[in-house]
Amino acid sequence: MVVTRTNDFTCSDPGQNIIKNDIIELDLNRVVVAACTPKIHEPTYRAVLTEAGLSPYFFQMVNLREQCAFVHPDNKEAATKKAIRLVRAGINRARELERIPRKQIPVEHAVLIVGAGIAGMNAALDLANQGIAVHLIEKEPTIGGKMAQLDRIYPTDDCGI
């Protein structure tokens, strides 16, 4: 481990800049952030690594908020001991992270919708209106599903057929 920092708002722009500068100036090859939820902040930190010229896959997030603070609100000693173990585990895992090559994969901008009931038809129309090619498949001889059985449709009183 080369450097450790304590920062109240690491996910803020100044906190991200500290990480970016450390990567560049200290020639870091891995980053571990022990903070809050990876669900929200992990993409932010991976982008920081990319901006600093480091693979975004050399990042490890340790979730202290939900794994320690939230589950041990009345026992700071237990929360601290658990946090220490989680940070150690995060550091050890970061040591094992490997470069993952990024690949560009061509994607066909088309969608297959199975079922031409009201939901399938609405989805097909919404996607087609966005310029996406739509392939609509229905097992019955007619489209419309349950809608085809209705004479009128609420609230517009349109014909169901």
Mean pLDDT of 121-128: 94
pLDDT band of 159, cuts 50, 70, 90: low
| Residue 50: pLDDT over 80 | yes
Q: Mean pLDDT score of the chain, rounded to an integer?
A: 90
- Dihedral sign of CA atoms 50, 55, 56, 62 in order: negative
Percentage of the chain exceeding pLDDT 70: 94
What value does the mean pLDDT take over residues 132-136? 96
Question: Where do the structural domains in the chain lie, given as residue ranges?
Answer: 13-96, 110-159
Confidence check: pLDDT of 154 > 70: no
Compute the average pLDDT of residues 111-124: 92
Please state the rounded mean pLDDT for residues 86-104: 93
DSSP per position, the chain: -------TTTTSHHHHHHHHHHHHHHT-S-EEEEES-HHHHHHHHHHHHHHTTS-GGGEEEEEHIIIIITT-TT-HHHHHHHHHHHHHHHHHHHHH-------------EEEEE--SHHHHHHHHHHHHTT-EEEEE-SSSSS-GGGGG-SEETTTTEE--
pLDDT > 90: what percent of the chain?
62
